[in-house]
Amino acid sequence: MTQTASLSKRNIISMNGLKAEDIKVILDTAVSLKEISTRTIKKVPTLRGRTIINLFFEPSTRTRTSFEIAGKRLSADVINISGTGSSTAKGESLIDTARNLNAMNPDILVVRHNCSGAPALISQFVDCPVINAGDGTHEHPSQSLLDLLTIREHKGSLEGLKVTIVGDIAHSRVARSNILAMQTMGMKVKVVGPPTLIPVEIERLGVEVCYDLGQGINDADVIMILRIQLERQNQGLLSSLREYSNYFCLTEKHLSKAKKDTLIIHPGPVNRGIEIALDVMEGPRSVILDQVTNGVAIRMALFYLLLGESDADTN
């Protein structure tokens, strides 16, 4: 594969400002690179000699592992640093951490942090591109890209599709990145959840708001279920998980009134039986594990497009 396109942005911090053409290039590149993960020897020399640092200050299974696998499949040297394993645990500031890592000449920094804005801050103190792997309640751009790839794979195209996002919209970085990305790609977005979990004036982002799950999904081509963030249960936003589940857990009964070919996606991790019923999660319309597979391809594409050389060899 020869690189023929590059991105209009150097850092992937937000989906805001990524043009439809950028997103299409990322998805198309991911499609080309996805095949590498099906080989017996899952490695190409494209990024040999390049150094990727994964700096994760929050727990992660899918994102951290897939960024690591993506780098290794492209032959980059990948270094993983956790918050507890770094000197921030001894009081070093985030800015000093960034400056010190930069002094070791990495080629990309991948950052997850519980504070919104941390990856953007770090990007001001390093010479290499920064990819936001999820920051606070702000954004999770690579998640929205893998969601778009999964939807496009199953639906053929994105433009005009109706997507309903269900759950804790207010605290969801996945929802925020997807609302931006989906609208850029000409999709129509509806959000569904209890009023306490839907930001006031979210309509100004161009989305429709609905407080009833059945009504909210009846015309959806795609239903994205969000994780109820159990860590927020002491904030008084929900009277109880059981009540949330009574009104907003996606069940087969709801789906019987939805489009027959509606897709079910969820970024994970899943609270089984709280936001999604077990039989729906494991049913024929669920493509949750396809999302995970596509997460590797999307992250390979981001590394490739941000670092790849014009004569990059993926054979």
Binding site for ligand CP (CB under 6 A): 60-63, 134, 143, 267-269
- Residue 136 falls in which region: left (phi positive, over 0), alpha (psi -120 to 50) or beta: left
CA dist., res. 142 & res. 63, Å (int)? 9
CA dist., res. 80 & res. 110, Å (int)? 9
Sheet of 108-113, strands arranged across? 77-82, 51-56, 108-113, 130-135
**Min separation Cβ 148 and ligand CP, Å:** 14
Is residue 79 within a helix (H) or strand (E), and if so which, with residue range?
strand 77-82
Q: What is the dihedral of CA 281, 283, 284, 285, to 10 degrees?
A: -40
Which C-beta is closer to ligand CP: that of 62 or that of 259? Answer: 62
**Min separation Cβ 81 and ligand CP, Å:** 16
Whether the bond into 269 is cis, omega within 30 of 0: yes
**Min separation Cβ 314 and ligand CP, Å:** 26
**Min separation Cβ 153 and ligand CP, Å:** 18
Q: What share of the chain is helix, strand, coil (3-state, %, to 5)?
A: 40, 15, 45
Which C-beta is closer to ligand CP: that of 210 or that of 226? Answer: 226
Which C-beta is closer to ligand CP: that of 29 or that of 291? Answer: 291
CA dist., res. 248 & res. 32, Å (int)? 37
Rg (CA), the chain: 19
Which C-beta is closer to ligand CP: that of 134 or that of 308? Answer: 134
Residue with tokens 């994102």: 63
Residues 119/111, Cβ–Cβ less than 8 Å: yes
Which C-beta is closer to ligand CP: that of 62 or that of 154? Answer: 62
Task: Name the residue type at position 65.
Answer: T
**Min separation Cβ 66 and ligand CP, Å:** 8
**Min separation Cβ 141 and ligand CP, Å:** 11
Which C-beta is closer to ligand CP: that of 63 or that of 123? Answer: 63
**Min separation Cβ 143 and ligand CP, Å:** 5
Which C-beta is closer to ligand CP: that of 216 or that of 295? Answer: 295
* Token pair belonging to 156: 């053929």
